[in-house]
C-alpha cells in the first residue's frame, strides 16, 4: 500500500507532462529534465517493481500459511484479482511510453485482444505502419493506467474488509526507509 501511494503521487506528477499526441517525445522531455523528471520517472518505475515484489511475497506467505480458504476466501480471491489488475496497469504503463519494448507489448496485446470476438476490426491494423498510431490508442492506455491503480486502491477495501485489524502501511520507519531508499536509488541511477 505504501508503494501504491508512491505510485499515485509520482504518477500524478508524470501525468501533467505526458502528451498522448507525442508519447515518446513527452517521455523524452521528462527524462531530460534532470531536477524532477528523470528521477521521478525512475522512482515511479522502481516503486512499481517493489510493489509487485511485495504483493507476490505477500501472496506466497498467505498461501503458505493456509490463509486462502474458509473465512479468508474473499481476501484471497480479491487479492488475486487485484494482482491481475496490477499486471494490466504495468502493461499499459509500458505501452504509453512507446519505446521499443512498449511497442512490442502493444502489438502482442493487440494480437491477444484480437483473439477475443469483441471488436469488428482487428486492433493489429493500428500497428501496420500505413498510418500513424492514433492518439486515441494512447489516451485509452493512459486512462487505464490511471484508472486501474485508483480502482486497486478502492479494491483494497474489499480485500481487507473481513480482516479484524488490517495493517495497510508498514511501520513508519520501514516506510520512510523504503521510500527514501527508492528515492536515493532513483536519483543515483
Q: Is the pLDDT of residue 25 over 80?
A: yes
- Say how far apart CA 178 and CA 172 lie, in whole Å: 10
Which range is least confidently modeled, 28-32, 59-63, 92-96, 164-168?
164-168
> Which pLDDT does position 57 carry in this prediction?
94
Average confidence (pLDDT) over 94-118: 86
pTM to 2 decimal places: 0.84
Task: Give the containing element (helix H, strand E) for 91.
Answer: helix 73-97
Q: State mean pLDDT over 121-127.
A: 77
- The chain-wide mean pLDDT, for the chain, equals 88
Report which of 127, 93, 97 is spatially closest to residue 110, judged by C-alpha positions.
Answer: 127
Q: What is the mean pLDDT of residues 74-86?
A: 91
Which of 79, 34, 41, 33 has the alpha carbon at shortest distance from 60? 79
Query: Number of H helices and number of E strands within the chain?
Result: 7, 0
Place of cell 501533467: 16
> Between vectors from CA 41 to CA 39 and to CA 46, what angle results, nearest 5°?
90
CB 40 within 8 A of CB 10: yes
Count Cα atoms within 13 angstroms, Cβ side, for 23: 23
Average pLDDT score over residue span 23-47: 87
Report in angstroms the alpha-carbon separations of 20 from 15, 45, 139, 142, 153: 10, 19, 6, 8, 25
Q: What is the CA radius of gyration of the chain?
A: 18
127-144 tens-digit pLDDT: 777 778 888 888 989 999
Distance CA 86, CA 159 (A): 14
> Which residues lie below 8 Å from residue 30, measured CB to CB, with a gap of 6+?
14, 17, 18, 37, 38, 40, 41
Residue 162 pLDDT: 78
Q: What integer pLDDT is reported at residue 168 of this predicted model?
A: 81
Q: Are 124 and 132 in contact (CB under 8 A)?
A: no
Amino acid at each position: 500500500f505504501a508503494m501504491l501511494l508512491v505510485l499515485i503521487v509520482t504518477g500524478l506528477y508524470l501525468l501533467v507532462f505526458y502528451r498522448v499526441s507525442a508519447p515518446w517525445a513527452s517521455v523524452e522531455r521528462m527524462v531530460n529534465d534532470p531536477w524532477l523528471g528523470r528521477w521521478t520517472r525512475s522512482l515511479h518505475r522502481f516503486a512499481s517493481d517493489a510493489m509487485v515484489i511485495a504483493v507476490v511475497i505477500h501472496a506466497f506467505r498467505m498461501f503458505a500459511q493456509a490463509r486462502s480458504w474458509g473465512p479468508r476466501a474473499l481476501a484471497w480471491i480479491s487479492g488475486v484479482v487485484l494482482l491481475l489488475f496490477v499486471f494490466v496497469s504495468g502493461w499499459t504503463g509500458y505501452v504509453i511510453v512507446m519505446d521499443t519494448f512498449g511497442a512490442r507489448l502493444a502489438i502482442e496485446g493487440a494480437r491477444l485482444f484480437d483473439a477475443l470476438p469483441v471488436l469488428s476490426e482487428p486492433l493489429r491494423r493500428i500497428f501496420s505502419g500505413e498510418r500513424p498510431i492514433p492518439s486515441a490508442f494512447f489516451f485509452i492506455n493512459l486512462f487505464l493506467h490511471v484508472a486501474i491503480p485508483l480502482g486497486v486502491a478502492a479494491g483494497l477495501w474489499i480485500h481487507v474488509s473481513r480482516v479484524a485489524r488490517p495493517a495497510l502501511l508498514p511501520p513508519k520507519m520501514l516506510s520512510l526507509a523504503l521510500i527514501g531508499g527508492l528515492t536515493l536509488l532513483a536519483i543515483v541511477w
